[in-house]
Chains A and B, each alone.
Chain A
Amino acid sequence: MRPLKRLGRSFDKYWYGWAMAAPVVIVMLVLVGYPFIWGAYLSTTNADESNIGHDIGVNHIPPSYHSVGLHNYWDILSGNDGHFYSTLTWTLIWTFVNVFFHITIGLGLAVLLNRKIRFRGGYRLMLILPWAVPGFVAAFAWRLLYNDNGVFNAVLKYFGMHGVQWLAQPTSAKIAVIAVNVWMGVPFMMVSFLGGLQTIPKELYEAAEMDGATAWQRFRMVTLPGLRPVMMTVTLLGVIWTFNKFDVIFLVTEGGPAGSTDILVTHAYQVAFANIRQYAEAASYGVVILSMLLVFATVYRRSQAKLEVQA
């Protein structure tokens, strides 16, 4: 009777919590959990366009793919498919460079905007504007700038230099997509940091100034520690979002030239939906990507928790 009573009591007590959280949990399990399990299963098969099973008119063609065990993973991780390691390297560079610039530029601008200066509202408005532009519009806008007959080349030519085929060479294409993504991502970071700065008590700055700390010392000793919670969240989110950033690369270069700007996500998409649809291989890529992010998030949270204990 006792445990039952306790269960009953805990049900009475937590009923509302469960009921209110349930819709989201159910939606997530149905829309993310189930497809994920199915995707994980697909990744151990040889499913592709030809054998996945489909309807042609009234005829139903049953699926005929079969299990191949871990073959797809072996194919990817051993480097046999010829794309994984080059794409992974570029994905890591892409993520690191983007997040680095997002944070440093975003933080720098936030610190400047947090001061009492003239036209502050105006600056803030202009600096936030890229955020208001939908990603695909921004991608097309930048393609216009990068065009062989675009404004960048016009400026180069004006100064007597040769135009650059920005999106046709691997190096310049990589720089180009990073520039687009940095441009798009800075406002979010800036706004997050601005919010964080406002939570730092003014008294701390006054005390630091009393102690004769220089501007740089106040920044290092007061501002940075004060921003730690915000910094931690935006870094984590920034890494995850950038790692999976699809639209910029897909719309600006389509992964070209010759796949050199493809990150893992866009590469997996090409595998799944371009030419012959290799569903199984794409699903394996997906699982690999997700595992890497999970490991990263776990390690990152742990290390941050440790830092917090030390501080």
Chain B
Amino acid sequence: MSAATESVNPTTPGRAAGRATGRATGQAAGRAVAEPGKKYSRTRRSPLASVAIHATLIAASFIAIFPIVWVALTSLKTKDGQWAHPGDFSHLNFGNYSQVLNDTDFLTWFRNSLIVSVGTMALAVFIAATCGYAVSRMRFPGFRATMWLLLVVQMFPIAVLIVPLYNIMSKLHLVNSFGGLILVYCTTAVPYCAWMLKGYFDTIPIDIDEAGKVDGLSPFGTFWRLVLPLARPGLAVTAFYSFLTAWAEVAFANTFMQSSDKYTLAVGLRTFVSQYKGEWGLMTAASVLIAIPAGVMFLLVQRNLVAGLTSGSAKG
């Protein structure tokens, strides 16, 4: 560390000194006094650095929201071909929205997507939760194999499954049916949900389980009555995740759903903009209608999402 001390850059000594005094007073008078010292050192960031940080974050935020804002703006352009004039913001109104809702199959697709997504969510969360709990708490023989299975299954590319699944589903007459699509989506939703929930259950103190045991609850009773209620944020996150997996899936929906009345949004939307025509007005309006509910839900759960994800990944 001696090299480090020699090469401190010219702005840091002040900082380090501030810190050192903070630390010294802290040692003298306990933690409460250490706090102001901390604050002092924080305000020492040079104005230039502050400007740079804010500039970077503003630029990044701009890139992050620009495509979204742009689609929303374009969706309000109703004059024919107006979308092709990016700078033209005359004639803005909600005409595209009423056209999407009244003259296209959008609402049917929306309903279909909803059926498939809610179905996937319910099925996936229910079976993933018990499995996640089992691998989080119980070291049973086959535990490692189960964990490994959960990881490996996530690696399965759709390409390796889509052909055989298609053949199997067509034999069972499940092609072009919601049930078939829900089952197929469980292949991706379930292992990830189980993995994430395992991480979440790991953060719930094991004392809870022991207390349950002492009170005479069976392991399943403990899980159902004590652990699941505590894991509600984690469950919300996995529910949301499996919902979105189904909501946004393209390849299977594209292959399995063959008639327009069964299309999900991802498939139906493609019919608005093919290589030969570009109904960008309809397209953008539909996009906004799809993104708004998803976005709102997302923002509601995002705090939990962070916790759920990181507890899962940190323990991996």
Q: A residues bordering B, Cβ < 8 Å?
A: 10, 13-14, 16-21, 23-25, 27-28, 31-32, 34-36, 38-39, 42, 52, 54, 105, 108-109, 112-113, 115-119, 123, 125-138, 140-145, 147, 149-151, 154, 183, 186-188, 191-192, 194-196, 198-199, 206, 209-215, 217, 229-230, 232-234, 237, 240, 243-244, 246-247, 250-251, 264-265, 268-269, 272-273, 279, 282-283, 285-287, 289-290, 293-294, 297
Contact = CB atoms under 8 A, between A and B. Distances in A.
Nearest to A188: B309
Nearest to B12: A214
B229 interface: no
B16 interface: yes
B25 interface: no
Contacts of A230: 310, 313-314
B130 A23 contact: yes
Nearest to B130: A20
A232 B142 contact: no
Question: What is the interface of chain A mostly: helix, strand, loop, or mixed?
Answer: helix
A209 B38 CA distance: 12
Contacts of A285: 159
Contact of A134 (B5, B146, B294): B294
B314 A286 contact: no
B277 interface: no
Nearest to A286: B160
Q: 9 tightest A-B contacts by CB? A: A195-B310, A286-B160, A17-B140, A17-B138, A149-B84, A132-B298, A268-B159, A24-B131, A20-B134
Contact of B42 (A116, A195, A247): A116
B153 A32 contact: yes
Interface residues of B, number: 115
Contacts of A13: 140
B138 A16 contact: yes
B259 to A, nearest CB: 16
B114 interface: no
B30 interface: no
Contact of B250 (A20, A54, A247): A247
Contacts of B165: 31, 35
